[in-house]
Structure formats: C-alpha cells, structure tokens
Amino acid sequence: MNVPNQGITISGGTVNGPMAAGPGARAVQNIGAPVTAADRHHADKLLASIRELARRHDDVLGDPAPILSDTDAIEAQLHSDRPDRALLSETLNRLTARVVAVTGLVEAVTALSGLIMGA
C-alpha cells in the first residue's frame, strides 16, 4: 500500500518551534507565561547574580558594560506594565551569546530565560 507521507521529515540543521502534520493537525506556540510578583522577585535575584558574575569574570568576558546594559533592559521590561515579549526574547538571546564563555553565567541566563519565557 502506497500512502503519502503525512508526517514531518527533518534532515540536518537545527529545528525548533511547533510543528504539525496531517489532517486537522495544529501547532501552537505560546511565548512567555505571565510574570507574577514572585517571578519578578526571582528574576531580580538572577539579574543581580548575572551582574555580579559579569563583573567578576571581566578577565574572560572583557568589558561587562554590554551585559549590564542587557540586564538593565530586561529588568526594565519585567517591571513595566506591559512587558514586550519579543524584546525580552531578543535581549535574552543576545545576553546568552555574550556570556557563553562562563558556565555560571550561562546557567543563570538559562534559568532567567526559562522563568521569563516559560521554557
């Protein structure tokens, strides 16, 4: 029996995000869960840790100013009445790229991303 492929075939590269195939299939992606006061408090602690680690590891990272600027931007968004999820996502991605040389920073930024974006 020759049945057409109604699945998804992926070969090579990196794929992320929702996918669906076949009759009636749906793929939904919800970016970011609502940020509660408790989440903000936890995020503030993570941001403080990221700032401290960036300053401590300036020998590896170089000038910490771009990292500190990103953490300030994230903090401002989290404390605004209507956080811009797209801006948060972009800033978190940029921050992740900036801290990749220091494992402790990567872990803190990953935890912050998961908290904010609901990953």
Report pLDDT for 117: 86
The ranges of the chain with pLDDT < 70 are 1, 3-6, 10-18, 22, 24-25, 27-35, 119
Q: What is the 3-state secondary structure (H, E, C) of 38-59?
A: HHHHHHHHHHHHHHHHHHHCHH
Closest CA to 36 of 78, 94, 6: 78
What is the b/e burial string over 30-58, where b = at least 16 CB atoms within 10 angstroms of the residue's CB?
Answer: eeeeebeeeebebbeebbebbbebbeebe
Q: Write out pLDDT tens, residues 79-100.
A: 888 888 899 999 999 999 999 9
Q: Write out pLDDT tens, residues 56-68.
A: 999 999 999 999 9
Report pLDDT for 43: 93
- Indicate the DSSP class of residue 57: T
Q: Is 17 left (phi over 0), alpha (psi -120 to 50) or beta?
A: left
Cα(105)–Cα(14) distance, rounded to whole angstroms?
A: 24
Cα(68)–Cα(59) distance, rounded to whole angstroms?
A: 15
Report pLDDT for 75: 95
Q: Where are the domains of the chain?
A: 37-117
Q: And the tokens for 36?
A: 């509660």
